[in-house]
């Protein structure tokens, strides 16, 4: 195994869900991983892994992200997994709500890329992986106006970075999951007030008849982070169990 041996990987949104599972997959593949999140308590169990470091960081805070980048010697792989899933149509919420969602889902990625890309450019090597969503420019679902809008922007951001730095050894790709069984999804199911009904509806819209697993997304992350995808940049890999078909 050890497809990521000698690589230093930074993963945001690492406290739970896809981010946490990606951290664990990277560690199994021999990487040194810096796990970043605001929820420090949820990061704490990772200190039991010899090649894991944890960092409490608000990735929407420009100065804090730049400070973190200045303190890290090298980053080979950057995984942007921070995000929020607001519920509602365009008639619900305000412009300020939309701006906050952009800040979390798109601005956070711009902040980390802006901070860590210069080091990758000096190395003339680096892989950036952004978590978008099938609910974006390719697929709509009810009551996800802000989420779909911002995740479509993530795909645009990814392709822009890929094109601008393709001649400098930088690869930038996106992954677009469908409905994945994560703690965040559980929270939204509970918040609906109709737990069984909501869960069954989410499963029913998946052509495969089940929810995705975080591990299934993490394995694609490993491939993109490794040297197995050297000719791939600007791609958006859909991992949705057929939801977008």
pTM score, two decimals? 0.94
Q: Is 89 exposed, middle or buried (0-12, 13-18, 19+ CB in 10 A)?
A: exposed
Beta strands in the chain (DSSP E): 8-12, 32-37, 52-56, 77-80, 126-131, 170-177, 236-239
User: Which DSSP string do the residues of 108-151 spell out, in sequence order?
Assistant: HHHHHHHHHHHHHHHHT-EEEEEE--SSSSS---TTBHHHHHHH
> Largest alpha-carbon pair distance within the chain?
52
pLDDT at 12: 98
pLDDT at 47: 87
- Contact between residue 76 and residue 127 where contact means Cβ atoms under 8 Å apart: yes
User: What is d(CA 58, CA 39) in angstroms, rounded to the nearest whole number?
Assistant: 10
User: What is d(CA 216, CA 230) in angstroms, rounded to the nearest whole number?
Assistant: 21
Select from 244, 245, 8, 1 the least CA-distant residue to 120: 8
Q: pLDDT tens digits, the chain, 245 residues: what are they?
A: 799 999 999 999 999 999 999 999 999 999 999 999 999 999 999 988 999 999 999 999 999 999 999 999 899 999 999 999 999 999 998 999 999 999 999 999 999 999 999 999 999 999 999 999 999 988 888 889 999 999 999 999 999 999 999 999 999 999 999 989 988 888 888 888 889 988 998 898 889 999 999 999 999 999 999 999 999 999 999 999 999 98
User: Mind listing the domains of the chain with CATH numbers?
Assistant: 8-177+213-239 (3.40.50.720)
User: What is d(CA 38, CA 56) in angstroms, rounded to the nearest whole number?
Assistant: 5
Instruction: Give the active site residues.
Output: 147
């Amino acid at each position: 195994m050890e497809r990521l041996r000698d690589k230093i990987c930074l993963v945001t949104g690492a406290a739970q869900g896809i981010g946490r599972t990606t951290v664990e997959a990277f560690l199994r593949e021999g990487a040194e991983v810096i796990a970043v999140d605001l929820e420090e308590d949820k990061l704490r169990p990772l200190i039991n892994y010899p090649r894991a470091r944890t960092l409490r960081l608000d990735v929407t805070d420009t100065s804090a992200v730049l400070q973190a980048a200045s303190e890290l010697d090298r980053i080979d792989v950057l995984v942007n997994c921070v995000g929020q899933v607001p519920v509602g149509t365009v008639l619900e919420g305000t412009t300020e709500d939309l701006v906050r969602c952009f800040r979390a889902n798109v601005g956070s990625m711009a902040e980390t890329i802006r901070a860590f890309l210069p080091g990758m450019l000096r190395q003339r090597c680096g892989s950036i992986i952004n978590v978008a969503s099938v609910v974006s420019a390719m697929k709509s679902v009810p009551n996800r106006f802000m989420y779909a809008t911002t995740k479509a922007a993530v795909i645009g951001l990814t392709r822009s970075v890929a094109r601008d730095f393709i001649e400098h050894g930088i690869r930038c790709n996106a992954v677009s999951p469908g409905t994945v069984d994560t703690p965040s999804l559980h929270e939204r199911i509970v918040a609906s007030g109709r737990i069984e009904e909501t869960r069954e509806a989410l499963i029913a819209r998946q052509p495969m008849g089940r929810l995705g697993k975080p591990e299934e997304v993490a394995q694609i992350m490993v491939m993109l982070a490794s040297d197995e995808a050297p000719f791939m940049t600007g791609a958006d890999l859909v991992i949705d169990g057929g939801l977008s078909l």
